Chain A
């Protein structure tokens, strides 16, 4: 578990596609670099759990959702543009 101001991130993918794999890799890299230890990543494979796609309003794959801290933030894409991810997640680069 993370601290009070820790990040809870959920990444939605659909199977082992190149985009999904790239997104997972990119996300891990960014978190290691900028949120050392203060984050939690949950990966949801919609192929296995398709009902979640509607419940969580997923259209594009991959989609990253910042669950915590609030407010909710969404980023779509394989997260290859790190700067955009940092802006999207509201993380100050260290």
Chain B
């Protein structure tokens, strides 16, 4: 964008380089508009890199999409072979030839059949090419591979000067040309063509790492224009050539406040009742059989049900297998495939290198324009590359998807038992929402549990829920927390029954105890009655005794008085008389 505006601003004063679109997905982005118009571009790479196919695609797109006829000057392949080779891409070359939009000229050169005597030049080639260009009014030319001349003719010095003349001549003709060249050792091309073609040089590469091939493209130079400088992965398949124009994306993507349902009402409930953020990245991790794919499929189902598109990248199962398995739990994906809302893209991770995976994903996403993407399982990509490479690839994929506002759900297969709170590829920090699924063994059975480990930008539930797969999809049960801790599955059912029994027992016990207390109370009050009666009779007795005692005292006193009276003569009345009474007792 920046380069474009700059170029436009400059056009008022200075002539700027024109661009000729290749129509190859991604290549026009990294070259900021295409190849230099009216100039030759050198396309080099080792055998099998796709040079011929690049060239053919350039011409085909030019003829079909941009109204620019083209000439293919082939030194290596016969026209019928060329037509067959690109037939797999649905390029109807024969029709273009009959419509005079494309011309193929095959140059046959065999050193053994040609004798040389004296001086010559390559005027014949110029005349051929010139005639082909003029006869269809060509604007584009591909010369593939002109270096073959070096093995067909002896005089290398002459060839070099003629090649220089050819490229100058092409420029004068004003055609946009691609010259292909075989990669040499230590040089871009075996015969140093880069000396003559200096405007734009593109290098194709085919690297093998761990038996996996990755194709890469790099723009070595582009005179007079800004261009991407990285190595960009590209793929060649039945849909032609696709260059993946991202190698490192920025963090400039906007953040949507819109929400999308997870497809599981109970899970939505755990995420503020609304689900994921649109355009966010979701990681679902767990062990084998913990239900990751099901969570993914539920999400895909809900996306499609809302009329939006979804791409499902299946890394371990075939589409049929996924559809069949999900049908068993009541998720019907086939109807979405039929309605062209769901696209399966199933590839074994070991099929090709990471960059190629990234490029195919890029192609599928740009092509299908989905609202959501599922990668199941992402951890399988570890089979295609080293851990840090996978990290970098996922990072770019996440950035790319975010920049398009595509909600992405990745599943990650954890190893080992218990909760796996880290992923091998350290991507958890890239994820906005992380659902943890575990499969806990208790009492001889495994029960699934789900937990929202994190979910950026929302107040999510902190509860561990029991995760139940039924024929009606996923249900999340509230965690059962009893006196013996957190329990799930049949243990939960058993615990519930046990609790019911226990509470019944407690109730009966309470009643029994109540009755007991009542009985005791009654017993005590009865005892109190008895004691009271005893107390009363006791009191009555005491009064009687007191009275008897008093009567006896009175009697004694009276007796003493009577005694004193009788002894009046001997003693004085009062106390001394009493003294005297004790004396005689001694």
What residues of chain A have their CB less than 8 Å away from a CB belonging to chain B?
12, 14, 17, 19, 22-23, 26, 46-47, 50-51, 53-54, 57-63, 73-82, 84-85, 87-88
Q: How far is the CA of A78 from the CA of B117 in the complex (A)?
A: 6
User: Which of A14, A77, A82, A88 has the most C-beta atoms of chain B within 10 angstroms of its own C-beta?
Assistant: A77
> Which residues on A sit within 8 Å (CB–CB) of B130?
50
Chain A CB within 8 A of B316 CB: no
**Is A84 in contact with B117, judged by CB distance below 8 angstroms?**
yes
Which of A51, A57, A78, A84 meets B115, CB within 8 Å? A84
Residues of B within 8 A of A54 (CB): 105, 128, 131-132
Q: Which of B3-11, B106-114, B233-241, B512-520 contacts A (4 or more CB under 8 A)?
A: B106-114
Q: Which residues of chain A have C-beta atoms less than 8 A from B119's C-beta? A: 19, 77-78, 80
**Are B131 and A78 interface neighbours, CB within 8 A?**
no
CB–CB B122/A59 < 8 A: yes
A12 touching B124 by the CB < 8 A rule?
Answer: yes
Whether B117 lies near A88 (C-beta < 8 A) is yes
Q: Binding site of B, secondary structure by majority: helix, strand, loop or mixed?
A: mixed
B residues near A, CB below 8 A?
105, 107-109, 113-125, 127-128, 130-132, 149, 152-153
**Given A54-B105, A57-B107, A60-B122, is A85 in contact with B128 using a C-beta cutoff of 8 Å?**
no
Q: B127 contacts A46, CB within 8 Å?
A: yes
Q: A50-B128, A50-B131 are in contact. Are A61 and B118 (CB under 8 A)?
A: no
Residue of B nearest to A76 (CB): B120
5 contacts between A and B (CB under 8 A): A46-B123, A50-B127, A63-B120, A74-B113, A87-B115
Please give, as numbers and ranges, the residues of chain B lying within 8 Å of A62 by CB-CB distance: 120
* Smallest beta-carbon distance A30→chain B, Å: 10
> In the complex, A61→B131 CA distance in Å?
16
Question: For B121, what are the chain A residues with a Cβ–Cβ distance below 8 Å?
Answer: 19, 60-61
In the assembled complex, the Cα of A19 lies from the Cα of B131 at a distance in Å of 22
Q: Roughly how many angstroms separate A76 CA and B131 CA in the complex, as a whole number?
A: 21
Q: Which residues of the other chain, A, contact B120 by a CB distance below 8 angstroms?
A: 19, 60-63, 76-78
A-B contact count (CB 8 A): 97
Cβ contacts under 8 Å, B118 to chain A? 22-23, 26, 77-81
Chain B residues, CB < 8 A from A58: 124, 127-128
Contact assessment for B114 and A61 in the assembled complex, using a CB-CB cutoff below 8 Å = no
Give bound CA distance, A22 to B105, whole Å: 29
In Å, the complex CA distance between A62 and B123 comes to 8
Q: By the criterion CB–CB under 8 Å, are A57 and B108 in contact?
A: yes
Measured CA separation A45–B551 after assembly (Å): 181
A74/B114 in contact, CB under 8 A: yes
Tell me how far the C-beta of A10 lies from the nearest C-beta in chain B, rounded to whole angstroms: 13
**8 A-B pairs with least C-beta separation:** A88-B115, A80-B118, A77-B118, A58-B124, A50-B131, A78-B118, A61-B123, A84-B117
Q: Which residue of A lies closest to B131 (CB)?
A: A50
Residues of B within 8 A of A50 (CB): 127-128, 130-131
B residues in contact with A22, CB < 8 Å? 118
- Flag if A59 contacts B116 (CB, 8 Å): no
Contacts A50-B128, A58-B128, A85-B115 supplied; 13 other A-B pairs, CB < 8 Å: A12-B124, A14-B123, A19-B119, A23-B118, A26-B118, A50-B131, A51-B131, A53-B131, A57-B107, A61-B121, A61-B123, A74-B113, A76-B117
Q: Could you say which residues of chain B place their CB within 8 Å of the CB of A87?
A: 115
Q: Chain B's nearest CB lies how many Å from the CB of A79?
A: 5
Complex Cα spacing A39 to B116, Å: 21
Taking CB as reference atom, which chain A residue is nearest B119? Answer: A78
User: Bound complex: CA of A62 vs CA of B127, how far in Å?
Assistant: 12
A60 in complex: contacting residue of B105, B113, B124, B132, CB < 8 Å = B124
Interface-centre pick from A22, A23, A61, A74 (highest chain B CB count, 10 A): A61
B residues less than 8 Å from A26 (CB atoms): 118
Q: Give complex CA distance A59, B122 in Å.
A: 6
In the assembled complex, how far is the CB of residue B173 from the closest CB belonging to chain A, in whole angstroms?
14
Determine the chain A residues whose CB is within 8 A of the CB of B149 once the complex forms. Answer: 59
A45 to B223, CA, bound (A): 39
Verify A75–B124 contact, CB threshold 8 A: no
